[in-house]
Amino acid sequence: MDALIGAAVALVVVLIRFLVRYLLRKPRASAKAHEKKPPAPAAPAPAVRTPVLRGVAGVYEGAVVELDQESCTIGRDARVANLVFPPDCAHVSTRHCKVRFRDGAFEIEDLHSTNGTTLTSGTRVEPGRPHRLQAGERFSLAGGSDIFEVTYV
């Protein structure tokens, strides 16, 4: 009987040690903690906006000309203008005006045209002096029906 009691005591000691170790052990990280989380979605790339000159009315109504680092010269002389008006548009000078997008801003310059360049606000662009334009602003050649707008697409 003593042997049986001794074996029971030994078994109880082993069980107590096991329970103590089990209760005092460090918690193991779950399998999910080791899984790699998918990267957070990247912020959407900023929209690339291209500066353009858009024909609103007149000969170039509906036309869109991209304004890169080069300026866009408007006139009747194909040798100097890259937006060329027909010869019968006498109200437009051979080199009428220049539109450009430089340093993040639109500019227009009247090239000493005979009939001038006018903003739709009524302001006449001073010849030979670049005038800054805001996106969406419009101008006309010779105060007539040929109207353009600087904007982004």
Residue 146 pLDDT: 97
**pLDDT tens string 32-91:** 556 677 787 877 777 789 999 999 999 999 999 999 878 999 999 999 999 999 999 999
106 pLDDT band (50/70/90 cuts)?
very high
Residue 20 pLDDT: 63
Listed in order, strand segments (DSSP E) in 8-146 are 51-57, 64-66, 72-75, 83-84, 97-102, 105-110, 117-119, 131-133, 138-141
- pLDDT above 70 covers a percentage of the chain that reads 80
Question: What DSSP element (H or E) covers 139?
Answer: strand 138-141
Higher model confidence: residue 127 or residue 31?
127
Number of residues written out for the chain? 153
Residue 79 pLDDT: 96
